[in-house]
């Protein structure tokens, strides 16, 4: 009887060990499958996100391209040429910037590539290169206040025209990050009426010291 009991205990122990080994083997086999399934799902999600981002970027690019189509002109058409005020000083923001002006009209002689045109320029602009990017051209303007007759201005070879300051109207301190910069409100001698800009005081004193000789609050004390 004792021998039978010992055999039963031994068989039970062996059966328990085999069952434990079988479970361990199944668990080891199921872990790689679970990892493979999880990795596959993650990869699919990443691919979907990338596709959505690309589609959104393509839509934005298409929208931007449609809005930024460059102007096109025909040979023989007349256009205005943009010129810029030239003062050699730094301006603070668009609010105080002098408005662009245009001279012309000039006839288009040829198209140079997709974005440039060759113009027939008068003798007064003989020192200026006759080919311009489309961004510097404009259809003939209905607003005549933006047009400057060539006989009223002097242009350099970079199409800058010169306007002189008349007086300093006001003075303020502008804060930029950790520094404070004195600026002055300047009235310019514009051909198309009074124009005002805010300029750095030190730049104006260097370029136009005569503007500060009559006002004690604006005189350079350096």
pTM for the model stands at 0.40
CB 166, CB 189: distance < 8 Å: yes
Which residues 6+ apart lie within 8 Å of 188 measured at CB? Answer: 85, 87, 98, 163, 164, 165, 166, 194, 195, 196, 197
Read off the pLDDT of residues 51-68 as tens digits, 9 standing for 90 and up.
888 887 877 776 655 555
CATH of domain 74-161: 2.30.30
Instruction: Give the number of other CB atoms < 10 A from CB of residue 201.
Output: 21
**pLDDT score for 110:** 93
The per-residue pLDDT for range 81-138, each reduced to its tens digit, is: 887 655 443 343 334 445 557 777 889 999 998 889 999 888 877 788 889 898 888 8
Taking the C-alpha atoms of residue 81 and residue 123, their distance in angstroms, rounded to an integer, is 15
Beta bridge partners of 198: 185
């Amino acid at each position: 009887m004792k021998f039978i009991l010992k055999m039963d205990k031994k068989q039970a122990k062996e059966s328990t060990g085999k069952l434990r080994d079988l479970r361990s083997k199944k668990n080891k086999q199921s872990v790689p499958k679970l990892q493979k399934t999880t990795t596959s799902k993650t990869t699919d999600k990443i691919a979907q996100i990338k596709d959505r981002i690309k589609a959104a970027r393509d839509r934005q690019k298409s929208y931007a391209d449609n809005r930024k189509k460059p102007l096109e002109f025909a040979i023989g058409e007349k256009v205005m040429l943009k010129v810029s005020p030239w003062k050699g000083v730094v301006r603070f923001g668009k609010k105080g910037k002098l408005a662009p002006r245009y001279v012309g009209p000039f006839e288009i002689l040829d198209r140079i590539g997709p974005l440039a045109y060759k113009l027939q320029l008068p003798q007064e602009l003989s020192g200026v290169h006759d080919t311009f990017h489309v961004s510097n051209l404009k259809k003939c303007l209905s607003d005549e206040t933006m047009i400057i007759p060539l006989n009223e201005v002097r242009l350099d070879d970079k199409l800058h025209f010169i306007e002189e300051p008349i007086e300093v109207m006001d003075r303020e301190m502008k804060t930029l990050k950790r520094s404070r910069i004195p600026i002055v409100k300047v009235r310019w001698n514009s051909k198309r009426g009074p124009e005002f800009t805010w300029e750095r005081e030190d730049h104006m004193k260097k370029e136009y010291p005569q503007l500060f000789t009559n006002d004690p609050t604006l005189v350079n004390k350096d």
